[in-house]
Structure 1
Amino acid sequence: MTNKERRDRQLPYISDNEVFEEQKRARRLTQELNTADRSDFDRISEIVKELLGKSDGAFINPPFYCDYGTHIEVGKNFFANYNCTILDVAKVIIGDNCQMAPNVAIYTAGHPVHPDTRNTAYEYGIEVTIGDNVWIGGNTVICPGVHIGSNTVIGAGSVVTKDIPEWVIAAGNPCRVIRKITEEDRKYYFRDRAFDEEAWTEVERILNEK
């Protein structure tokens, strides 16, 4: 097998010239994205659509960094805030209506633990998947092989090393489940602060239209 084939099968591989050549497209497009007029939302959206392997109405606030882009698949209404990094050696698959706060990092890439094997230049990529309606807090790191379930919130500053189930709030280093998200949470916008009557009327209107 070529190193590209090994990489795509999530086997140990070496970044040879063929691999580096494939990365050039992403470097060109991220350079365009990160130097674009920040007020030109249409142009930013166009670059994001060209960069990612699959997207539907995605928007990324530059700067943004990735290895390939083509290995990133996002659903409807994806939003990533400033300084997001996705090392997409393996697939990164993200569902609909997902939001990422600033400085989120998703790593599919890794290296052997033992220095002897690590110094052979072999590395690997293990797929990361994130469900629908997930909110990732700022400065979160998501490690290779992690699956995050739908409708979950990951608190700021988390280091996610293991799978997180759906419908929970999880946070910490290492990230762990804090509690379930329940129907009671619907009426609050921050901790114990409930939506005021004016805003809640609008919330209900929006929800009823869906």
Structure 2
Amino acid sequence: MTIRAKRLLAEFNATDYADTARRLSLLREMLGSVGEGVHVDIDFHCEYGQNIFLGNRVIINMNCTFVDNNRIDIGDGVMIASNVQIYTATHSTDVRERLVQDWKEGSICRTYAMPVRIEDNVWIGGGAIILPGVTIGHGSTIGAGSVVTRSIPAGCVAVGNPCRVIRRLDSMNYETD
């Protein structure tokens, strides 16, 4: 599936910016699902595409990379700034577990993947990195340049490396279903 995604990505990223209908058509062909009012800027990169599910009114700014070896769910009203990276794939930190003993071309190390979930109305600042297994709760904001290594609850501002909650946003009800 990677070859198919790479071909569709190449066409998507080369399509005239003003040809929004063609760009949307390519996204719908490439990704698992695409809601209404979605905008994905170029250059967009992903591994498979079919494991990415976008809600309604999602904005993904330029030069974002989604390594979708597992599912990436992005809720409604999510804004993702430029140069954000979302990873579902990872490797063991133990070299004995990471390296493949019976090495074959293209299989130098063991990879496993965990899903990433970004709930409704989240804003992810420029250059943030979201690591495997993370959920970012409804209405939260992730500061630019943050490295999100653990899940972030709903209604928070979180920043840093590693990303940590610095403030609760109490002006809204952030209960999730």
TM-score, normalising length: structure 1: 0.75
Aligned counterpart in structure 2 of residue 180 of structure 1, from 151, 168, 175: 168
Partner of residue 35 from structure 2, selected from 46, 51, 56: 56
CA distance in 1, matches of 2:8, 2:32: 13
Hey, what does 1:16 align to over in structure 2? Answer: none
Q: From the two aligned structures, give the one with the greater helix fraction.
A: 1
Radius of gyration: which is bigger? 1
Tell whether 2:14 aligns with 1:35.
yes
Shift of 1:114: 1.5
Give 1:126 shift. 0.5
Look up the equivalent residue of 2:7 and give its one-letter code: R
Q: Which runs of 5+ in 2 are unaligned?
A: 101-108, 173-177
Q: Indicate the residue corresponding to 2:79 in structure 1.
A: 99
Aligned match of 1:110 = 90
1:131 aligns with 2:107: no
Give 1:140's aligned residue: 128
Q: How far apart in 2 are the matches of 1:159 and 1:42? A: 34
Q: Which moved more, 1:37-46 or 1:87-96?
A: 37-46
Aligned counterparts of 1:42 and 1:79: Cα–Cα separation in 2: 16
2:53 alignment partner in structure 1: 73
Give the 3-state SS of the residue equivalent to 1:178 in structure 2. Answer: strand
Q: Partners of 1:40 and 1:142 in 2: how far apart? A: 30
Partner of 1:158: 146
Residue 52 (structure 1) shift: 1.1
Q: Which AA in structure 2 matches 1:53?
A: G
SS of aligned partner of 1:122? coil
Please give the TM-score of this superposition, normalised by the length of structure 2.
0.88
2 CA distance for matches of 1:141 and 1:30? 21
Give unmatched runs, 5+ long, in structure 1.
1-21, 185-210
Q: Which amino acid aligns with 1:41?
A: T
**CA shift for structure 1 position 54:** 1.0
Q: Report how far residue 39 of structure 1 moved.
A: 2.3
CA contact (8 A) 1:93 1:129 kept: yes
Secondary structure of the corresponding residue to residue 33 of structure 1: helix
C-alpha separation in 2, matches of 1:135 and 1:48 = 21
Distance 1:25 1:126 in 2: 22
Equivalenced residue count is 163
